[in-house]
Amino acid sequence: MKKLLSSLIALSLCTVVMAQKSEISAAKNTYAIFEVGMQTKASAKKQLETLNTAKASIDKATVHEKTLNSPEAWGYKALIYSAIAVTDTVNKSNADAAFKTAQEAIAKAKELDKEGKEKNNIENSERNLSIVMQNRGVSAFNKKDYKTAYTSFKYISDVMPKDSLFSMYTAIAANSAQMTDEAIKYYNKTLELNTKNPSLYQELGRLYMSKADTNSALKVIEAGRAVHPNNLNLIYDELNVYLARGQASKQISKIESAIAQEPKNKTLHFVAGVAYASNKQLDKAEAAYNKALEIDPSYADAVYNLAVIYIDRGNAFINQANALPNNKGTEAKYNALKSQFNAQLAKAAPLLEKARELNPKDRNVVRALREVYVKLNKLDKAAELKKQLDQM
């Protein structure tokens, strides 16, 4: 009798364990049906019904003492709840609750899965939650709720640390939310993964400059220029760092050395012009822009900047004229200065006309040319450009 009773107890225990394992199997099988439904484009309502059936089975498995420490049970719980979080787009509170439960299940599965058998389920669960956070982040960003966008994209970036796209989104959202330190962190993280985008170096450099950290800004920009040596934005930003440090001459020296190595590089001559102009060396700036135009007569930026040199010179003459005392004794001096002013603008006008031909939709060019026409009393041409500006 005792032997029979012992056998019955053992059989009973075995039946309970098998019953709980069958709950895991039921959850797995039902989840497989959900996957088929996704492929056949079943309705969201039908998919949720299937997931809720799988959820009922897996919930039993993860609380029973015989399977509550099963990595497989928790792996499937993470998978099922994360799928609910993605699929339920109607009941936000249900989706949010499923998201939280999925996070907890992922953590538990990672803790129990010593052999790595649940790696795929865990990764797929994290991918599901990332989809939720991506949708949330994009929606928040479009509504200018940048802090929520940052939190959402940060979740994805932290879950998928090798994905440069979401670390960049995190940085952009943080920057938009004026969270400078967080933006710096995620721009740096992005650049560790992807060096192909020069604007990443530019944005990071500018963030450092906003904190008056010229050392870090220069380090980032120089790294960017090493990868993108001809990127004008990075060249300008490097010059701005040197100007902020009162070291324009150091940047000029670097550019001159580069020109000695590549005398036919139009970009280097153009950048030299920018550096000279920033350092108030207008004669050298003029020569540098002219050299760039010798190499490429259709170099629009050089054409425009050379025109600006003449405009700046002209403005210097007219400012001197306007500063003279208003009396007969200064009339000749005033007229001479006014004549020099007009002569400089007369040099600028054809350059701006050429710049307009090269870039007809550039408002800055059209606006500058109109102002020159006004000052040269070419009012018909100025009126024509005013109409163009109004239509741009």
Kindly report, residue by residue over 285-314, the tens digit of the pLDDT: 999 999 999 999 999 999 999 999 999 999
Tell me whether residue 107 is in a domain: yes
Domain boundary among 138, 155, 181: 138
Tell me whether residue 171 is in a domain: no
Tell me whether residue 29 is in a domain: yes
Q: What pLDDT was estimated at residue 7?
A: 41
Q: What pLDDT was estimated at residue 249?
A: 83
Q: What share of the chain is helix, strand, coil (3-state, %, to 5)?
A: 80, 0, 20
126-138 in b/e burial notation, b at 16+ Cβ within 10 A?
bebbbebbbebbe
Residue range 29-55: mean pLDDT, rounded: 90
Tell me whether residue 127 is in a domain: yes
Q: What pLDDT was estimated at residue 9?
A: 39
Q: What pLDDT was estimated at residue 244?
A: 85
How many folded domains does the chain comprise?
Answer: 2
Give yes or no for residue 128 having a pLDDT over 70.
yes
Tell me whether residue 102 is in a domain: yes
Domain boundary among 138, 173, 203: 138
The pTM (predicted TM-score) of the whole model is 0.70
Rounded CA separation 366/362 (Å):
6
Tell me whether residue 380 is in a domain: yes
Domain boundary among 118, 138, 158: 138
Contact 341, 321 (CB under 8 A): yes
254 or 383, higher pLDDT: 383
The CATH number of whichever domain residue 384 belongs to comes to: 1.25.40
What does DSSP assign to residue 120? H
Tell me whether residue 118 is in a domain: yes
Give yes or no for residue 73 having a pLDDT over 90.
yes
Tell me whether residue 367 is in a domain: yes
Give yes or no for residue 2 having a pLDDT over 60.
no
Model confidence band, residue 352 (pLDDT cutoffs 50, 70, 90) = very high
Percent of all residues in the chain with a pLDDT value above 70, rounded to a whole number: 95
What does the pLDDT look like over 251-276, one tens digit per residue? 888 889 889 989 999 988 998 998 89
Q: 37 lies in which domain range? A: 19-138
Helix axes 331-358, 363-375, angle to 10 degrees: 150
Q: What pLDDT was estimated at residue 21?
A: 59
